[in-house]
Amino acid sequence: MAGTIVADTLQDGAGNSTSMDNAIYGSAKAWVNFNGVSGSVGINASYNISSVTRNSTGDYTINLTNALADNKYCVALGCGNTDGSGSLRVGNILSSSSTSSSFRLQTVYANTSLIDVPNVYATLYR
């Protein structure tokens, strides 16, 4: 049975409350922790992510389970480097490839060359 809940605020058992705008617009709509290494690409944990596709070295498409209304969202990125150099950084969200159901990201060394990394983290907000 489907239904609708209409409320202005949410409150927990301790009496702390927040507006519905915070709950709707301030929460992550999707997140993923994945292994981006060739031959081992796989999701470690996620919410609202159906798959991760490795397009080429350091270039990935993240596919959403449930599409959003549009592609006007924000993605926060991070990655873990195992070589200890500290020079690795997440470089790009390819906005021209962002749709309501997927986005594309790249992991980049400081010298701007693409590289596969074992720990990639992305959180999508809308």
Question: What domains sit in the chain, N to C, each tagged with a CATH number?
Answer: 28-125 (2.60.40)
The gap between the terminal CA atoms of the chain, to the nearest Å, is 27
pLDDT in tens, 4-61: 888 788 888 888 888 877 777 778 999 999 999 988 899 999 999 999 999 999 999 9
Question: How far is Cα 33 from Cα 77, in angstroms, rounded to an integer?
Answer: 10
Q: What pLDDT digit, counting tens, does each position of 25-40 carry?
A: 778 999 999 999 988 8
Q: How many angstroms separate the CA atoms of 45 and 50, rounded? A: 11
Percent of the chain whose predicted confidence (pLDDT) is above 90: 48
Closest CA to 105 of 68, 78, 71, 65: 78
pLDDT at 109: 80
Q: Residue 93 CB: number of other CB atoms within 10 A?
A: 19
3-state secondary structure 11-72: ECCCCCEEEHHHHHHCCEEEEEEEECCCCCCEEEEEECEEEEEEEECCEEEEEECCCCCCCC
Return d(Cα 80, Cα 86) in angstroms, integer. 9
What is the model's pLDDT at position 80?
Answer: 77
The whole-model pTM stands at: 0.81
Kindly report the backbone phi and psi dihedral angles of residue 88, in degrees, each rounded to the nearest multiple of 5, phi listed first: -80, 140
Phi and psi angles of residue 60, each rounded to the nearest 5 degrees, phi first: -130, 145
